[in-house]
Structure 1
Amino acid sequence: MNQPGTKTWQDVRAAFQKIWGYEDFRPPQGEIISTLLTQKDALIIMPTGGGKSICFQLPALLQTGLTLVVSPLVALMENQVEELRQRHLSAALLHSELPSSQRRATLQAIEKQKLRLLYLSPETLLSPPVWERLSQPQLQINALILDEAHCLVQWGETFRPAYRRLGAVRPALLKSKPPGTKISIAAFTATADPLAQNIIQTVLQLQKPEIFRLNPYRANLHPSVSIAWTPRGRQQQLLQFIQKRSPQAGLIYVRTRRDSEDLAAWLTQMGYATASYHAGLGAAERRAVEASWLGGKIPFVVCTCAFGMGINKPDVRWVIHYHAPHLLSEYVQEIGRAGRDGKPAEALTLVSEPTGWLDSGDKKRQQFFADKMRSQLQTAQQLVKKLPKQGDINTVTRQFPDAAVALALLHSSGQLKWLDPFNYKIESNVQKQPTTQLQAVKQMQQYLTTKQCRWQFLLNAFGFSQDAANWRCGHCDNCKNYIYRK
Structure 2
Amino acid sequence: MQQTKEAILKQYFGYESFRPNQAAIIETVMDGQDCLVLMPTGGGKSICFQIPALLKPGLTVVVSPLIALMKDQVEALKGNGIEAAYLNSSQSGPEQDQILWQAKLGKLKLLYIAPEKLFSGNTIQFLKEWQVSLFAIDESHCISSWGHDFRPEYRQLNLLKELFPNVPIIALTATADRVTRRDILRQLGIENAPTYVSSFDRPNLNLTVLPGRKRIEQIKRFIHKHERQSGIIYCLSRKGTETVAASLQREGIKAEYYHAGLRPEIRSSVQEQFLRDDIQVIVATIAFGMGIDKSNVRWVIHYNLPSNVESFYQEIGRAGRDGSPADTALFYSYMDIITRQEMINNSEQPMEQKEVLKAKLERMKQYAEADICRRRILLSYFNEAVEQDCGNCDVCRNPRTRFDASIIAQKALSAITRTEQKIAMGMLIDILRGSRNRSVIQYGYDRLRTFGVGNDLKGEEWAEYISQMLNSGVMDIAYDEAHAFKLNAFSEQVLRGQRKVELVKFIPVAERKAKEEAQVISAKPKQEIIRDALFEKLRVLRKQLADSLSVPPYVIFSDATLSEMAQKRPITEAQMKAVAGIGAEKYRRYGSVFIEEIVRFAKENTQPGTRIAKGLTYLETWELYQQGYSVKVMAQKRDLNPVTILSHLIKLKEDGHAVDLEALMDPQAYEPIVQAAQELSIRKDEPLKPIYELLNEQYDYGQIRLALVIAEGKSG
Q: Same fold (TM over 0.5)?
A: yes
Partner of 1:478: 395
1:331, distance to aligned residue in structure 2 (A): 1.0
Task: Describe how 1:44-443 pairs up with structure 2 within 5 A.
Answer: 44-134=37-127, 136=128, 138-153=129-144, 160-171=151-162, 173-174=163-164, 182-229=166-213, 233-279=214-260, 285-286=266-267, 288-352=269-333, 354=334, 356=335, 363-372=338-347, 375-377=348-350, 436-443=356-363
The residue type equivalent to 1:460 in the other structure is S
1:126, distance to aligned residue in structure 2 (A): 2.1
Alignment check: 8 A CA contact 2:42 2:320 kept? no
C-alpha separation in 1, matches of 2:293 and 2:70: 13
Alignment of 1:26 with 2:26, yes or no, is no
The residue type equivalent to 1:451 in the other structure is D
- Secondary structure in structure 2 of the residue aligned to 1:52: coil
1:205, distance to aligned residue in structure 2 (A): 2.0
Would the alpha carbon gap of residues 339 and 114 (structure 1) be closer, same or farther in structure 2, given more than 3 Å must change? Answer: closer
Would the alpha carbon gap of residues 370 and 168 (structure 1) be closer, same or farther in structure 2, given more than 3 Å must change? Answer: farther
The residue type equivalent to 1:147 in the other structure is D
Larger Rg, first or second structure (1 or 2) = 2
1:210, distance to aligned residue in structure 2 (A): 2.6
Would the alpha carbon gap of residues 341 and 105 (structure 1) be closer, same or farther in structure 2, given more than 3 Å must change? Answer: closer
C-alpha separation in 2, matches of 1:54 and 1:183: 19
1:32, distance to aligned residue in structure 2 (A): 1.5
1:241, distance to aligned residue in structure 2 (A): 2.3
C-alpha separation in 2, matches of 1:210 and 1:158: 23
> Per-residue CA shift, 1:267-296, capped at 9, x if unaligned?
213321112234565676555444543444
C-alpha separation in 2, matches of 1:455 and 1:366: 25
Quote the RMSD (CA, aligned, Å): 3.0
Partner of 2:451: none
Bigger drift between 200-209 and 280-289 goes to: 280-289
C-alpha separation in 1, matches of 2:298 and 2:382: 24
- Secondary structure in structure 2 of the residue aligned to 1:238: helix
> Per-residue CA shift, 1:201-258, capped at 9, x if unaligned?
22222253232212212223221222214xxx22222223223333333221123444
Alignment check: 8 A CA contact 1:293 1:301 kept? yes
Partner of 2:371: 451
> Per-residue CA shift, 1:353-410, capped at 9, x if unaligned?
x2x3xxxx653344224522xx1448xxxxxxxxxxxxxxxxxxxxxxxxxxxxxxxx
Alignment check: 8 A CA contact 1:155 1:161 kept? no
- Secondary structure in structure 2 of the residue aligned to 1:440: helix
Alignment check: 8 A CA contact 1:156 1:164 kept? no
Alignment check: 8 A CA contact 2:238 2:285 kept? yes
- Secondary structure in structure 2 of the residue aligned to 1:482: coil
C-alpha separation in 2, matches of 1:145 and 1:52: 10
C-alpha separation in 2, matches of 1:434 and 1:323: 20
> Per-residue CA shift, 1:436-471, capped at 9, x if unaligned?
54543333233223333211111111011xx23x54
Alignment check: 8 A CA contact 1:154 1:437 kept? no
Would the alpha carbon gap of residues 366 and 102 (structure 1) be closer, same or farther in structure 2, given more than 3 Å must change? Answer: farther
- Secondary structure in structure 2 of the residue aligned to 1:67: strand
1:189, distance to aligned residue in structure 2 (A): 1.8
1:186, distance to aligned residue in structure 2 (A): 1.0
Bigger drift between 297-306 and 152-161 goes to: 152-161
> Per-residue CA shift, 1:156-201, capped at 9, x if unaligned?
7986212233223221x13xxxxxx611111112222222222222
C-alpha separation in 2, matches of 1:435 and 1:116: 44
C-alpha separation in 1, matches of 2:355 and 2:337: 22
Would the alpha carbon gap of residues 99 and 437 (structure 1) be closer, same or farther in structure 2, given more than 3 Å must change? Answer: farther
Count matched residues. Answer: 403
Alignment check: 8 A CA contact 1:84 1:91 kept? yes
Partner of 1:408: none
> Per-residue CA shift, 1:71-104, capped at 9, x if unaligned?
1211001111122233443322111222222122
Per residue, is there more helix in 1 or in 2?
2
- Secondary structure in structure 2 of the residue aligned to 1:319: strand
**Structure 2: which 5+ runs fail to align?**
404-716
The residue type equivalent to 1:304 in the other structure is T
- Secondary structure in structure 2 of the residue aligned to 1:246: coil
1:314, distance to aligned residue in structure 2 (A): 4.4
Alignment check: 8 A CA contact 1:150 1:329 kept? no
The residue type equivalent to 1:473 in the other structure is C
Alignment check: 8 A CA contact 1:156 1:163 kept? no
Alignment check: 8 A CA contact 1:228 1:237 kept? no
- Secondary structure in structure 2 of the residue aligned to 1:217: coil
- Secondary structure in structure 2 of the residue aligned to 1:318: strand
C-alpha separation in 2, matches of 1:18 and 1:158: 36
Percentage of pairs with the same residue: 40
Per residue, is there more strand in 1 or in 2?
1
C-alpha separation in 2, matches of 1:308 and 1:482: 33
Bigger drift between 184-193 and 233-242 goes to: 233-242
**TM-score (norm: length of structure 1):** 0.74
Partner of 2:383: 463
Alignment check: 8 A CA contact 2:38 2:173 kept? yes
Would the alpha carbon gap of residues 14 and 471 (structure 1) be closer, same or farther in structure 2, given more than 3 Å must change? Answer: closer
C-alpha separation in 1, matches of 2:21 and 2:150: 33
C-alpha separation in 1, matches of 2:146 and 2:91: 23
Bigger drift between 147-156 and 114-123 goes to: 147-156
C-alpha separation in 1, matches of 2:204 and 2:135: 34
Alignment check: 8 A CA contact 2:133 2:167 kept? yes
Partner of 1:397: none
